Structures are given as C-alpha cells and as structure tokens.
C-alpha cells in the first residue's frame, strides 16, 4: 500500500512538472506596429507647400487615409501569426497610429507581410463594418464596388507657375482590376519571449510619385476611372513601405 502511495505521488509530481514546463514553453507576447509617414525621409508636415515631385511640381500633403489588411508575422521556422482585422489609418486621427497584435506565440520572427488595400474577399459593397469612416472610403465609380484603398490628397503649384491646384491620388479597384498590393518587409530577427516589441513601419509618400514611374498630377486627374494610372501607382507602391526601427518595449 505504501509503495502504491509513493507511485501515485510520483505520478502527480511528474504531471505537475510537465504542466508547468509546457506553460513556460508556450508563452505569448505582443507586437505593436506604429504607422508613420515621411516625404524623402523627413516626417510629413501637413498643409505645407514645400515638397518637390519628379514631375516638377511643388506640393503639400493635406489628407492621407489607407487600409492595411491580411497582416501576418512570419517566423524563422516557416510558421506565421495572422492579425484578422482590417486597419484604416488616418493621418489626422492619432488613435489609428498603432496596430496592436496581442497573444502572439513566442518564437523568432523575421518578416511582416500585409495587403495594401483590400483583396477580392473584402473589397465588395458592404464588405466592411458600416462605420462613418468606412462609408467615407466607399468607391463611387459605377460598375466597380468596394472601397478606396488610399486617399492621398493635397495641393500643388503646377510647374511652379503660381497656379495652385488640388490633387487626389486615389487607389482602388478599377474596371474589374483589383489593384491591391501585397507587401513583404523583412527585419532583423526578433526573439519574442513573452515580451513586447514595437515595429516602426514607415510609408514614404514621395515614393508614390517617382519610383519607378514618375506620377504627374496633371496627367492623372481622373484617376479613379483610369486603370493606367492605377497601374503606375501599384508599381510605385512596391518601395513605399520600410521598417525604420524595431525596439523592445
């Protein structure tokens, strides 16, 4: 009988050790994406007619809104963690500056991928919650559906002749072409060990206007019905995003 009690006690002791060991191994941490914006590496200054485009115009930034979706963290073993929400960033709304990815399983992470805009499964009429923010991003062109991917708006001095005009760089689905951009940005290995990390994800607005295609406000005024303009921007979008820093909180 005594031997039986000893064996039973030993079994439960091993079980407890196993449980606590698993708890230590299966930790969770947090990644926070901070969404910042620059023009040629300098922080954006709103409504300042001071930036120069490759097409020869001095321009300002007045409004900027865009969607990020299908956000995924990738680890060094081929695994991933998906953030299942769509995020609308508004440069005038500080509450949209961060995306908090909580309960991420511990691991060593090496890259971030996301869709700039919305893919076919989301970009349909009523595909997003019926909030005033999403309603204001609806795509108004007959025959197409869904939402703007981006509204990048401001003013420009046409060829610096003193004639101030407005520009609207709007991206979205046009004539059945989806035009969203799948982006992957690598970073140095991050060891998530039940801790928190901040990733500074930066959009350089100047890249939309010159790399690899020079985007001229004058020649692309009716952009929402112009697939050629959308394709220029889609190509330029490949170099818009970069990770500026990664820091443990």
Structure confidence at residue 145 (pLDDT): 86
Which residues does 228 contact at the CB level (< 8 Å), separation at least 6?
none
- What pLDDT is recorded for position 144? 84
pLDDT confidence of residue 25 = 55
Please, is 82 exposed, middle or buried when counting C-beta atoms within 10 Å of its C-beta (0-12, 13-18, 19+)? Answer: exposed
pLDDT of residue 2: 45
CA separation (Å) from 19 to 6, 23, 24, 121, 189?
Answer: 20, 6, 9, 41, 29
In degrees to the nearest 10, what's the CA dihedral of 44, 49, 50, 53? 90
Taking 50 as the pLDDT cut, the residues of the chain under it are: 1-24
pLDDT, residue 15, reads: 44
Q: How far is CA 149 from each of CA 80, 133, 170, 171, 188, rounded to the nearest angstrom?
A: 25, 13, 7, 5, 29
106: CB partners within 8 A, 6+ apart: 25, 26, 27, 28, 29, 192, 193, 194
Ranges of each domain in the chain: 29-248
End-to-end CA distance of the chain: 55
pLDDT of amino acid 143:
75
Write down the pLDDT at residue 99.
99
Cis peptide before 212 (omega within 30 of 0): yes
DSSP character for 94? G
Nearest Cα to 89, choosing from 154, 169, 43, 34?
Answer: 34
pLDDT tens column, 51-108? 999 999 999 999 999 999 999 999 999 999 999 999 999 999 999 999 999 999 999 9
Q: Which two tokens stand for residue 63?
A: 């409004």
| pTM of the full structure | 0.89
Mean residue pLDDT of the chain comes to 91
3-state secondary structure (DSSP) of residue 233? helix
Q: Three-class SS of residue 15?
A: helix
Residue 27 is given by DSSP the state -
pLDDT in the model for residue 79: 96
What is residue 215's predicted lDDT score, i.e. its pLDDT? 97
């Amino acid at each position: 009988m005594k031997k039986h009690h000893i064996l039973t006690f030993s079994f439960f002791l091993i079980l407890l050790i196993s449980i606590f060991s698993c708890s230590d191994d299966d930790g969770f941490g947090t990644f926070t994406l901070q969404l910042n914006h620059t023009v040629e590496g300098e922080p954006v200054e709103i409504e300042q007619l001071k930036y120069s485009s490759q097409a020869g115009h001095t321009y300002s930034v007045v409004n900027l809104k865009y969607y990020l979706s299908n956000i995924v963290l990738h680890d060094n073993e081929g695994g991933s963690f998906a953030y299942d929400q769509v995020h609308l960033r508004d440069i005038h709304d500080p509450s949209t500056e961060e995306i908090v990815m909580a309960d991420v399983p511990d691991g060593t992470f090496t890259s971030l991928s996301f869709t700039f805009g919305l893919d076919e499964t989301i970009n349909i009429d009523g595909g997003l919650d019926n909030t005033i923010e999403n309603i204001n991003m609806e795509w108004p062109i007959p025959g197409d559906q869904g939402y703007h991917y981006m509204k990048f708006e401001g003013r420009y001095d046409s060829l610096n002749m003193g004639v101030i005009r407005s520009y609207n760089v709007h991206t979205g689905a046009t004539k059945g072409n989806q035009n969203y951009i799948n982006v992957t940005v690598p970073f140095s290995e991050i060891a998530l060990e039940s801790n928190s990390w901040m990733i500074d994800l930066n959009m350089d607005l100047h890249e939309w206007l010159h790399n690899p295609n020079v985007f001229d406000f004058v020649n692309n005024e009716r952009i929402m019905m112009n697939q050629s303009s959308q394709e220029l921007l889609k190509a330029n979008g490949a170099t818009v995003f970069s990770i500026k820093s990664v820091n443990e909180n």
